Amino acid sequence: MTVELLRNAVRPYAWGSRTAIPELLGRPVPAPHPEAELWMGAHPGDPSHVVGPDGAERSLLELVDADPVGQLGERCAKQWGGRLPFLLKILAAEEPLSMQAHPSAAQASEGHAREERLAIPRDAPNRNYPDPTAKPELVCALTEFHALAGFRAPDRTVKLLKAIETPGLAKYTGLIEAEPDPSGLRALFTTWITLPQASLDSLLPEVLESCVRHVQEHGEFAVECRTILELGETHPRDAGVLAALLLNRLTLRAGEAIYLPAGNLHLYLHGTAVEILANSDNILRCGLTPKHVDVPELLRVVDFACGEMPVQCGSGDRVAVYDTDAPEFELSRIEWASGEDDEITVDCTGPQILLCTAGDLLVTADDGEQVELRRGQSVWLPAADPPVRVRPLGGVRSQLFRATPGTCQD
Q: Output the pLDDT for position 1.
A: 61
Please check whether residues 139 and 267 belong to one and the same domain: yes
Angle between helices 170-178 and 154-163 (to 10 degrees): 160
pLDDT less than 70: residues of the chain? 1-2, 408-410
Please check whether residues 219 and 277 belong to one and the same domain: no
Please check whether residues 188 and 239 belong to one and the same domain: yes
Task: Identify the DSSP state of 246.
Answer: G
Task: Give the C-alpha separation, 2 to 20, whole Å.
Answer: 30
Q: Output the pLDDT for position 31.
A: 97
Angle at 74 between CA 73 and CA 78, to 5 degrees: 115
Task: Give me the number of domains the chain comprises.
Answer: 3
* Last residue in a domain, options 270, 286, 302: 286
Catalytic residue chosen out of the listed positions 127, 152, 249, 285: 285
We report the CATH number of the domain holding residue 82 as: 2.60.120.10
Please check whether residues 269 and 137 belong to one and the same domain: yes
- Phi/psi at 328 (5° precision): -75, -25
Q: Output the pLDDT for position 316.
A: 83
Alpha-carbon torsion angle 112, 117, 119, 122, nearest 10: 10
Please check whether residues 13 and 135 belong to one and the same domain: yes
Task: Give the C-alpha separation, 301 to 294, whole Å.
Answer: 11
Q: Output the pLDDT for position 317.
A: 80
Task: Give the C-alpha separation, 155 to 180, whole Å.
Answer: 6
Q: Output the pLDDT for position 251.
A: 98
Give the DSSP H/E element, type plus range, for residue 91. Answer: strand 86-93
Q: Output the pLDDT for position 318.
A: 85
CB 99, CB 243: distance < 8 Å: yes
Please check whether residues 270 and 186 belong to one and the same domain: no
CB atoms under 10 Å from CB of 204, counted, come to 21
Can 285 be counted among the known catalytic residues? yes
Q: Output the pLDDT for position 54.
A: 82
Its domain, for residue 86, covers 4-148+252-286
* Residues in contact with 220: Cβ distance below 8 Å, sequence separation at least 6, in sequence order: 159, 163
Q: Output the pLDDT for position 107.
A: 97
